[in-house]
Amino acid sequence: MVSLALEKVSARYGHRQILSDASTPEIEGGALTALLGANAAGKSTLFRRIAGQLPGAGAVRLSDANETDLRYMPQDTAMSAALTVYESIILALKQGGGGWRLSASELASVDDVLHHFGLGDLADRQLPELSGGQRQAVGIAQTLVTRPKVVLMDEPTSALDLYRQYEVLDALQNYARETGAVMVLALHDLNQVMRACTTVMALAEGRILATGLTLEVLTPDLIARLYGIDSRVERCSRGCPVMIVDGPARPAVR
């Protein structure tokens, strides 16, 4: 079973300490984990630290996987290159090594990931012609084409419409189930989180406040501490938990 755990992980940019002593219990693969936190809470820094792009104290423990099985999808989706969608995914596939030639199985895996994320129609389009949401979907395909066992995605659904959000989160859930991969997604829509993510990690001011099962961890108290928002989690008429925002939190709680 693939799993990921953090032990007192820290990171800094220049003099600024962004992350301090971030620790989590083992996060197991096979389902989605949401990374929650306000803007500038350190989510991207945590991802980059786990992905090995930033130095710092502490340890990132992977079991049943090593660093080459890890893929990180950054938030920025600026793509001005004269490449087709298909080429850009080949590119992600070939970074692991290998020569100029493309094997039939490599091409098949590109076709496969395009199919899974509903990108077939875009295969021959040039990257600069894509809309923001389409770029984001292409970014997800680039990240998953190598079949990584540990996946970190920074706001993978922020530019998608409602239908595409649903579709993409569904496809990511399927990917996690099929491959047993650990998948940590930074997300802002808490209702999407409750629907799609089994586990939640909550980050505020560079510290991890809580890690655990979504419905246990995601309490009004935690949400007030994370976002400064008063909220309720109630059952809808079909029994699903839904979060309702009431307004800014009372000063006492902040």
Partner 1 sequence: MAAVTTDTPTHAVRYRGLVARRIVILTGLALLLVLSLAVDVSLGPARYPLWDVMRTIFAPSSSDIQMRVVIWEIRMPMALLAITVGASLSLAGAQMQTILANPLASPFTLGLSAAASFGAALAMVLGVALFPAAVALMVPINAFAMAMAASLLIFGLSTLRGVTVETIVLLGIALVFSFNAALALLQYFASEQALSAVVFWTMGSLTKATWAKVAVTAGILLICTPLFARRAWALTAIRLGETRAAAMGVPVKRLRLEALFLVSLLAAVPVSFVGTIGFIGIVGPHVARLLLGEDQRFFLPGAMLCGAVILSATSVLSKAILPGAVLPIGIITALVGVPFFAALILTKGRKSW
Please give the residue ranges that form the binding site for partner 1 (CB under 8 A).
51, 53, 68, 71-74, 76-84, 86-88, 90-92, 94-96, 100, 104, 107-108, 110-111, 114-115, 120, 123-124, 126-129, 139, 142-143
Contact residues for 100 (Cβ-Cβ < 8 A; gap 6+): none
User: Taking the complex as a whole, how short is the minimal distance between the CB of residue 212 and partner 1, in angstroms?
Assistant: 28
**Cβ nearer to partner 1, comparing 143 with 231:** 143
User: In whole angstroms, how far apart are CA 109 and each of 17, 90, 93?
Assistant: 41, 9, 9
Closer CB to partner 1, 62 or 83, in the complex: 83
Q: How far is the CB of 72 from partner 1 (least distance, A)?
A: 4
| Residue 223 Cβ vs partner 1, minimum distance, rounded to whole Å | 29
Total residue length of the chain:
254
Q: By C-beta, is 6 or 73 nearer to partner 1?
A: 73
Contact 30, 180 (CB under 8 A): yes
Query: CA Rg, the chain, in Å?
Result: 19
Least separation in angstroms between residue 15's CB and partner 1 is 12
Nearer to partner 1 (CB atom), residue 19 or residue 200? 19
What is the H or E stretch that residue 194 is in?
helix 190-196
Measure the N-to-C terminal CA separation of the chain; round to a whole number of Å. Answer: 39
